[in-house]
Structures are given as structure tokens and as C-alpha cells.
Amino acid sequence: MMQHLDMALLSAFVERWQPDTNTFHMPFGEISILLHDVHHILRIPVDGQLMGDEASQDTLKSDMGGLVRLSVDAQVGGKWKSKWYDNGAMHAEGLLVRGGELKIKEMEVQCYLFVLLGSTLFVDKSRDRIRPAINLFLKDHRRLADYAWGAGALDYLYRQLGVATRAGSKGLCGCLTLLQAWIYEYFPLFRPSQLPQSPDAPRASSWISPRLPGGDEARQRLVRYRQLLDELSADDVTWTPYGRDGHTDIPRSLYTGPIRFSDIAEGYDPSRCLRQFGYRQIIPAAMTVPHDQYRPASGSSYIVFWDPWVNQLWDNVAARRLELDFASRPCEQPSEIVEEYVDWFLTRSHPRITHPTDEEPQPRPLLVHQVSYDFLLLFQI
């Protein structure tokens, strides 16, 4: 399931993630995964009802027992020796089998959707287990289309990127297909070849991601990716991969405030990434910040606490919408910034990950768009 992922590439970007702003800090400034990116890459709804329902662990566990009509403290059985419910998560493959055994169409569909969402949008680090909070949004099939699934998936990915930045954290989860496809969209330097497709199709399905070896070769790729990112300039970025008007049909992308998936809430601020809307980047205003936060180096108790009233911000679209023409002006060049932006940014970040003397400089490879299509076809062969 994860064979299409280049974990070395994803790791290189995780190293540049700033959880206070939920943006990647690059040598040229900030850039992030925004709601219109989710729309174009995955083609799932980013507008709708905020996924703010939550429940206690005891309630979630009880719900799981009701779903499978069994004690979740028991073993799954068959070829599986583990329990249904372990470490706060449900056994995924067993759920699929149990859904068919129940002979109740509605329950079978609910189990299937539960596993589908848990293995695509809300992936757990265990890979074979699913977060029970997903089921909160599946109980009433009539409301499935009402939720902003894309915003929930983005919120969950933001949180997992934040956890992955902690020194003691191991692994990365969330919708990594979204993350990798987003990298391909904005950074031609890392793009594989791409298939033609319908304009309405999810763009994630157009990329031909080669299977890459792990082990020492992956570690070597990571070192190289770090160097390439250190050398990037703003002109190396495709700032508006869906066209200058790629966000206009997705007004929710200009929302400013927290987004949520159950008990997870993260800040979302498009004003830090104006170039992704085709506008000149200015020094952004202060973000809406959580009431409290605890992000220890271990990553084991990662907590971001928001006041309850912030949930209302999502519904107040008009007041929370960033007005681009008021904040800035359209770019004459795609990477345009105000003169004072660089100095402002460098006092709050650092442009390089590797030390200049760590590695011998290597020749910079050609960007994909500089290579002929015939060469790409030959390379695929």
C-alpha cells in the first residue's frame, strides 16, 4: 500500500515543517499544503460541516464493540492473534471480514468506509489499525456528504507532520499520498513522469511514482534531498500548479482559523503563502494561536489546546476569509515578495538544514521541465 511513497523525500520535507505556523520553511520563505491543494489533488470536499465531533476513549471503545457486535477485548481470531481494540485503535483487516460476516448491508458498508478512510486519509502509524474517531462521522449515512472531509484530512496531516518533527518521534502517518503529490505539484525538481488525465480527476492519480529502494540508498537520497532543498530558490517552485485561478472555485481555501478532525485542531493561515494564490508575499499578520500547547521532544504527549469558541470561526466564512486584493496585489512574477519579507523571515527561521561543510557540493540536476518528453519515455522503459 505504501510502495509508491518516497519516504526519504517526505522526511526531507518533514525536517522543514514548522508546527507553530503549519508551513514548510524553505530558503525563500514559507509554503504549505492548502485547502485548494487538497481539492485538486484528492478531489474530496474541503467545504461543509467541520469535523468537530469528539468522544471519550471509553465511548469510542464502546462504539467499536457495537460496530462489530463483539467484545473488542477479545482476539480477532482466524489468522490474527491480536485483539480487536489495542492501543486505542481497531484492527483494520478484521473489520472488513467482520463487516461481511454480520450480513447487515448497512453495517458492512460502515465497516468498509471505516477501513477505507483509515487506510487513506487518516492513516495510523501502526498501518494495520484504525483510529476509532473516524466512526463518529459514519454513524449517520445521511450526513456523510455534509462533512468537510478534505479539511479533516488536512488537519490530521498537519498534526502528524508536527509530531514527526519531534526528536524522539519515529515514523510518519496521515495522508502521505497527499503530501507526496503536493511535493510533485510545486517542486519540478522532484517530479516523476505524469500521465494525461481528465481535468476533474484527482491529480494524485496522474503521477507515476517509481518504487525506490530503502536502506542505505534511501539514506543517501535523504542527504541529497537535503542539499537540493537548501539550494532551492523561489524561482524553482511552481507557485500556482493549477493555474492562476486554481483557487477561485474553492473559496474555503482563503479561510483563516483552526481546522479540525475530532479532538485534533490545527491552525490554518493562507496569508503566509500568498504566492500560492498568485499574489505577492507580504509580511503576514500574527496567527490565531491555540490557548495552550505542549510539544515535548519525545512526541509521545503532543497536545494543542484551543478554546471551544474557535469552532465557530469555521461557520463564519465571510468574516474569516482572507481578502487577497486588500492584503496584497497580484504577482508580476510568480515568486514576487515585498522587499522587507526576506529580512523578516530570516529573523524567524533558518534557510539551510545541512551545514555548508557537511557534504561536498554536487552538480545541480536538470529540472524535469528542462528534459525532453522523449527522454522521459526512454527513462520509463
267 compared with 361, residue with greater pLDDT: 267
pLDDT digits (tens, 9 = 90+) for 178-234: 999 999 999 999 999 999 989 899 999 999 988 888 889 999 999 999 999 999 999
Question: Angle at CA 81, nearest 5°, toward 76 and 84?
Answer: 35
268, 314 in Cβ contact below 8 A? no
Q: Which three cell numbers stand for residue 159?
A: 498534526
Locate 265 and state its grid cell: 485542531
Q: What is the mean pLDDT of residues 364-368?
A: 38
What does the pLDDT look like over 106-138, one tens digit per residue?
888 999 999 999 999 999 988 789 999 999 999
What's the DSSP call for residue 10? Answer: H
100-108: average pLDDT: 85
State what percent of residues in the chain have pLDDT above 70.
92
Give the CA dihedral 308, 309, 315, 320, nearest 10 degrees: -120
Residues near 85 by Cβ (< 8 Å), separated by ≥ 6? 61, 64, 65, 72, 73, 91, 132
Instruction: Look at residue 377 in the predicted model and tell me its pLDDT.
Output: 29
Contact 322, 247 (CB under 8 A): no
pLDDT of residue 362: 47
Tell me, what DSSP letter sits at residue 305? E
Q: What share of the chain is helix, strand, coil (3-state, %, to 5)?
A: 40, 15, 45
Q: What is the per-residue pLDDT for 356?
A: 58
Distance CA 121, CA 176 (A): 8
Q: How far is CA 160 from CA 154, 247, 299, in A?
A: 10, 25, 10
In angstroms and rounded to an integer, the radius of gyration of the C-alpha atoms of the chain is 22
Q: What is the pTM of this model?
A: 0.90
Alpha helices in 6-80 (DSSP H): 7-14, 35-42, 57-68
The answer to whether the beta carbons of residues 212 and 251 sit under 8 Å apart is no
Tens-place pLDDT, residues 250-308: 999 999 999 999 999 999 999 999 999 999 999 998 888 898 988 888 777 888 999 88
Of residues 236 and 72, more confidently modeled: 236
- What value, to the nearest 5°, has the Cα angle with vertex 270 and ends 162 and 26? 55
CA-based nearest residue to 278, from 317, 246, 253, 254? 246
* Structure confidence at residue 367 (pLDDT): 37
- Higher-confidence residue of 96 and 356: namely 96
